[in-house]
Structure 1
Amino acid sequence: MAATLSVFLLVFILKSTTCSPVGQLPVESRLDQLEIGAEVQYERTNDLKQRISVLEKFVVGMLSGNNISQTGNSALSKEEVGKLLENNYSMPILPVNGALRQSAAPKVAFHAYLSQDQDFHPQNSVTFDQVMNFSSGYTAGIGVFQAATTGAYVFTWTITAAKLSHPVTTQLVVNGQIKGVITSESDVTPTDVTGSGNHPATGVVVTHVEAGQYVSVRVSYPQGGTSSIQSNTLNRSTFSGWLL
């Protein structure tokens, strides 16, 4: 009998841990996220209590024939009650469809740019050397972002070809796979001896990235030559990405 009960409990625990997204996480992560969920519910309960208290006092005042409600030694007008409900007791961000609030997930975002004009050979990654990192995923020395979290990401990059140079074609590459391509025309081409302004090109890609995979912007043209990328106070070449 004891053995049968033990087997039943084991099956129940296994089912409980595999039937929900939380159950697929390590035990410590599950405890942290459940604690966050409990905190949200606690904040919501306190917020509702405060709102109900304000409304009750206002209704009592209205039923007594006044436009104000007595709260101790002070009175609240309709406008003051509205401000209290709107400003003092803002509702916390609640889970959607049973999911934990998004703040429980790590924030991943980065923005980098080239500090000066630079030449690159084909298949070279563009090493955007100036970085504003909200996570530790982007490495300026090699121009590569490594995802620490699996999910859907947005990446955008802007490239400006230098004057009197070739067009510059770049690719957004995720673990060796090309996800996007753009081409920036040079200010002067062999058929145009008078410059006609700068021609920056911007690409935007939404793609799935697994934890541990690498993302970079790679030069692909011209073959056998160099690509001169412009980046200065007038035209800045940039690379950015964030987790949705």
Structure 2
Amino acid sequence: MMMSKIKASVWTLGLALGMMGPASAALFDAGLPAGWTANGNAGTLGANGVVTLAPSGGSQYGYVSSNNGVNGVALPGVGGSGSGTNGSTLRSAVFSAAAGDDLEFFFNYVTSDGAGFADYAWARLLDSSSNQVALLFTARTAPSGSIVPGFSMPAPAATLSPASVTIIAGGPSWSPLGGSSGSCYSSGCGYTGWVQSNYEIATAGNYVLEFGVTNWSDTAYDSGLAFDGITVGGVVIGEPAQVSEPAILALMGLGLVGAAVAGRRRQTA
């Protein structure tokens, strides 16, 4: 009897230790996760052209592109002079977060457009009813200066690393841009490289993460956004919360104590 209780305790500990392992970086390795919804051109891709794999370590990343996008996709009332034309969004399945959880991920903005046609991309945190909670960041085509955060755009709610990013210039080769891959309209085209975004969620609740991109003032020379390594409270988005190490040690102690007490009772019976 005592041995069976010890075995049960060891099995429980092994299960808990398995749950304690590091968060998987493979969110997009098998394609778009179940429950994620695309509007326009969104998908997954491995290292391609100027976009390497993200620092988080997956073998694929997610992306959105204005190439083959749909009309009317842009942030409402945002962008200054001009208007969005066509673009794409990708939204996560609803996920739960506790107050104080960090929402973290990497992104890389890629654009073949340049001066005078300020395409932009973004990430937003929405509630489960699709209301905006926070505009995490924007990335925007510009002939010079900061690409992230974008000019004439709201300040980012997330903390970005690096905090300000200029373009790595040149016609970017990247297949999601379609016929615009490798092309460059005037100064301002290129890519940012991978940038880290970190946002502390203030209130416990259910949320949706949205990535988007839009052409601006025309539909020529497309832009896109790559992203990966998305975690909430240190756990890959959408996965169950992990068991903490102190909780595992406490569980182990309770199991072994319970087994020892049961053994003593049997000996004194």
- TM-score of the aligned structures, taking structure 1 as reference length: 0.34
Q: Which has the higher helix share?
A: 1
Larger Rg: 1
Higher relative contact order (CA 8 A, sep 6+): 2
- TM-score of the aligned structures, taking structure 2 as reference length: 0.32
